Amino acid sequence: MPNQGFANRIAGQIDINILFSFVFGVVFLGIMLGFSVGFPNPTPIQVRVFITALALAASGVGAILPGYFDIRYKSFIRAGGALGLFALVYLNQPNLERQAVSFVAPPTSPEPIALTYLAAIDNGNLHAAWDSLDPVAHGVVFGSLDQLTQLYETYRKPLGSVVKRELTGTGSVESPSGYPVGLYRNLVYRTKYSNTAACRTEGVTLRATQDLKWRVFGHTIGSSSIEC
């Protein structure tokens, strides 16, 4: 006996539940298009919400499509129809993040933000330095304020005060693998400290997302001496 739902579609009749699913999918798809214009630089949590909504929209539209298809993912997930479309979109979130999200650079230079952070570090004002960090970096790049303090006491403080600091290069990358989505800018300095005979390479990484503001994401000081 032929499938009744499929027979109804052939006859031009659509189940009201399927129709609601389709309308639901179209509405969510329209909302997603609006968000893509209004939020060009989404935060990680916004990206997750957008992908979930997009997956729901795909399942709603897929509910009215004729035919059947089977989705298999890493040998432990199998789904078909509307659920299959939901799984196809939702489980590809990392790829969608890197290929579909386009970031706009903030109109201001990141260097003043980096220098403000470095000044706090130079003066031993670690609370100010911690507060100026990108919230995403809390617990990721620096586990805690105590860890930042320990790193400062062990590695930065023995170097002494800054004699001179010169910007020598910049680099930019969007959503690098293994890092939260966003636009990253790396500033490289050649820094001379009072307790070192030569200079050290110093790097400050900044990250920007939806609010179009640069925030310090990471800070490194090279262990090898370089020519000043």
Mean pLDDT of 42-65: 67
Tell me whether residue 79 is in a domain.
Answer: yes
Between 44 and 67, name the one with better pLDDT. Answer: 44
Do both 202 and 134 map to the same domain? yes
| pLDDT tens-digit readout, 125-158 | 999 999 999 998 988 888 899 999 999 999 999 9
CA dist., res. 152 & res. 134, Å (int): 18
Give the chain's domain count: 2
Do both 79 and 131 map to the same domain? no
Do both 82 and 123 map to the same domain? no
Do both 95 and 127 map to the same domain? no
Do both 63 and 119 map to the same domain? no
Tell me whether residue 191 is in a domain.
Answer: yes
Do both 171 and 203 map to the same domain? yes
| pLDDT tens-digit readout, 199-222 | 999 999 999 987 889 999 999 999
How far is residue 87 from each of residues 7, 81, 192, measured CA to CA in Å? Answer: 27, 10, 54
Mean pLDDT of 3-10: 47
CA dist., res. 199 & res. 164, Å (int): 9
Do both 10 and 57 map to the same domain? yes
Domain that holds residue 131: 111-226
Tell me whether residue 145 is in a domain.
Answer: yes
Long-range contacts (CB closer than 8 Å, 24 or more residues apart) made by 110-117: 110/185, 110/187, 110/206, 110/208, 110/214, 111/167, 111/187, 113/206, 113/214, 113/215, 113/216, 114/187, 114/204, 114/206, 114/214, 114/216, 117/204, 117/216, 117/219
Do both 192 and 116 map to the same domain? yes
- Which pLDDT band, with edges at 50, 70 and 90, does 35 fall under? low
Mean pLDDT of 72-91: 57
pLDDT at 31 exceeding the cut of 80: no
Tell me whether residue 106 is in a domain.
Answer: no
pLDDT at 204: 97
Give the residue from 72, 100, 128 where a domain finishes.
100
Do both 115 and 95 map to the same domain? no
Tell me whether residue 183 is in a domain.
Answer: yes
pLDDT at 96 exceeding the cut of 70: no
Q: Find out whether 204 and 114 touch, Cβ atoms under 8 Å.
A: yes
- Which segment, 24-38, 45-59, 168-182, is predicted with the most confidence on average? 168-182
Give the residue from 73, 100, 127 where a domain finishes.
100
Give the residue from 65, 100, 135 where a domain finishes.
100
Cβ-Cβ contacts under 8 Å for 140 (sequence gap 6 or more): 180
Do both 93 and 122 map to the same domain? no
pLDDT at 6: 44
Do both 44 and 63 map to the same domain? yes
Report the CATH number at residue 122. 3.10.450.50
Phi and psi at residue 167, in whole multiples of 5°? -70, 125
Between 173 and 60, name the one with better pLDDT. Answer: 173
Do both 45 and 17 map to the same domain? yes
How far is residue 9 from each of residues 1, 15, 81, measured CA to CA in Å? Answer: 15, 8, 15
Tell me whether residue 42 is in a domain.
Answer: yes
